[in-house]
Amino acid sequence: MLHAEHEDVSHDGLIADILTPLIVASALFALLTLALIAGSRSDVGISSFIFPAILLLNTLIAQQAQQHNKLFFAATLMSYTIGLLPIFTVFTHSPSSNSIMFIAPLGVLLGTLILPFRVGFTIAGIGIAMLIVSIFMNPTVALLSQALLILLLLGFGALGCWASDTILGTIAWALDTSAKSERREKLLRQTQHELQEAIYERERLNNAMQITNRDLEAARAAAEAAYQSKSSFMARMSHELRTPLNLIIGFSNAMLEHPEMYEMQPLPEIYQADISAIRASGQHLLGLINDILDLAKVEAGRLELHKAPFQIEALLEEMYKTAGALLLNRPVVLTRDWPSPLPTIVADETRIRQVLLNLISNASKFTDEGEISLGARANDKEVLIWVRDSGIGIAPEDQVRMFGEFEQAESDDSRQRGGTGLGLSICRWLVEMHNGKIGLESTPGIGSTFFFTLPLNAETTYSHPTKPTAEPVDNSYAELHTM
């Protein structure tokens, strides 16, 4: 459809280009003929003015039609006028002396070039018919001029058809090439526009990403500064709180267990229960402050490990006796499960003792009856240590949070048994500072197993983590237990 529209526009342009000079030439020819006839000294009849007058009239009509953009009508009128009006003169003038009639083939050629073929052939057919009629009307006149004109009409018609086909083919090729060029140019402009938009969008995204990166870097720096400031503040405050608490606990012990400090005057029984409560509360608060202090030191990167070779089996024996003291007079069976001998490890014995004591204390706190087991296994790479109990257990949704700061199980039973939620977080810090791993497996109502590993390679270095998480470690007690 687009090609057809281009072809129509181009054909109209071709008609306009040919029609304008044709109208001008026809008008000048008609005026010149009228002037010659009027200035002739010979006696001319009225019939001599018919051809130039009609030619001038039709030319003026075609010019008006062209001005009103009726190009097809104007071209048809001029073709018929130039093709038939000269032949009409054979009826008024002798063919042997009539040179005007030989203008008629130009009308046929014009009709076949700029108009449909049928217009040119119609003009040629009408002209031949008029010549044949003139022959019958004047049989005594020589036929050479009419025969020659008939041949010219047919020849110019054929020439017009051939030229028209060639011209229209050329026009069609030119239009097709122009349409393809326009499509390519349009596609190129569209592609360039899209490319420019893509470049602009990329620059915008790059700028946005740079701004975001700067904001993130600033936020990270601010968060780290706040984190370090918090940890430093916690460490200083915990240290300041421990001094008066140690005094409270020390004087409570002296009043209850060392009457010689008061000239052998025993504390009256009416005060002993209250002083005992003061000492117990002070010890509980001191334990909490110690946990906070340890956590603050670890987070601030100030907790140092004092690694040295020691016998892990001796530490397990010590923890086994400590657990027995915690379970004294309780319906809980304490068992041990480790082979002898166990290898010597290089670690901070005090911190490993702290981890084991925390796990054993938790097992004792959450096991009312049943069994608590302390065990260990070793291979050529690491030592696995675990504390297993038959206590209340931990729900799966709580297990993923147990090693985070201030995290506890959400059950009512767990909340009633107390705790700050710092113990397991500190345990994870201490184990990871030894390049070990810590984890748990638990089933509600059946019990829990907390386990951790320590590498045997003494040369392993530790990279201080940025922040403890509440995610479970990627290992399994069941798999480690088989080593």
If the chain, 483 residues long, is cut into consecutive pieces of 10 residues, what is the mean pLDDT of each piece? 46 72 85 76 67 86 87 86 83 74 83 78 85 79 77 83 70 73 89 91 92 91 78 69 80 80 78 81 74 66 81 92 86 92 90 91 89 93 94 85 64 50 83 91 91 78 44 47 52
What is the bridge-based pairing of β-strands 438-443 and 447-455? Answer: antiparallel
Integer CA distances (angstroms), 343 to 203, 347, 362, in order: 61, 12, 27
User: Of 328, 398, 377, whose CA–CA distance to 477 is shortest?
Assistant: 377
In a domain, 196, yes or no: no
Letter string b/e over residues 442-474, b meaning 16 or more CB atoms within 10 A of that residue's CB: beeeebbbbbbbbbbeeeeeeeeeeebebeebe
Burial class (CB in 10 A: 0-12, 13-18, 19+), 310: middle
Helix (H, G, I), strand (E, B) or coil at 390: coil
Q: How many angstroms separate the CA atoms of 189 and 110, rounded?
A: 41
pLDDT at 13: 63
The answer to the question of residue 155 being in a domain is: yes
Burial 106-118 (b: 16+ CB within 10 A, else e): bbbbbbbbbbeee
**297 within domain boundaries:** no
The answer to whether residue 337 sits within a structural domain is yes
Among 187, 212, 246, residue at a domain's last position: 187
The number of domains in the chain is: 2
Is 0.75 topped by the overall pTM?
no
CB 454 within 8 A of CB 378: no
Domain annotation covers residue 88: yes
Question: Would you say the C-alpha torsion 134, 139, 141, 145 has a positive or negative sign?
Answer: positive
Euclidean distance between CA atoms 350 and 221, whole angstroms: 34
By CB atoms closer than 10 A (0-12, 13-18, 19+), residue 101 is: buried
Last residue of a domain, one of 171, 187, 203: 187
Q: Report the C-alpha gap between 373 and 451 in whole angstroms.
A: 12
Per-residue pLDDT, 337? 93
Which of these, 284, 318, 279, 225, lies nearest to 420 by C-alpha position? 284
User: What CATH number has the domain bearing residue 334?
Assistant: 3.30.565.10
d(CA 476, CA 483): 12
Rounded CA separation 407/410 (Å)? 9
Burial classification of residue 89, based on how many CB atoms lie within 10 Å of its CB (0-12 exposed, 13-18 middle, 19 or more buried): buried
Of 150, 172, 187, the one marking the end of a domain is 187
Pairing assessment for the beta strands 370-378 and 438-443 based on DSSP bridges = unpaired
The verdict on residue 274 lying in a domain is no
Q: How far apart are CA 354 and CA 351, in angstroms?
A: 5
Please tell me whether residues 333 and 463 are part of one structural domain: yes
On whether residue 212 sits in a domain, the answer given is no
| Residue 99 DSSP symbol | -
Q: Identify which of 461, 447, 282 has the alpha carbon closest to the alpha carbon of residue 366.
A: 447
Range of the domain at 129: 2-187
The answer to the question of residue 253 being in a domain is no
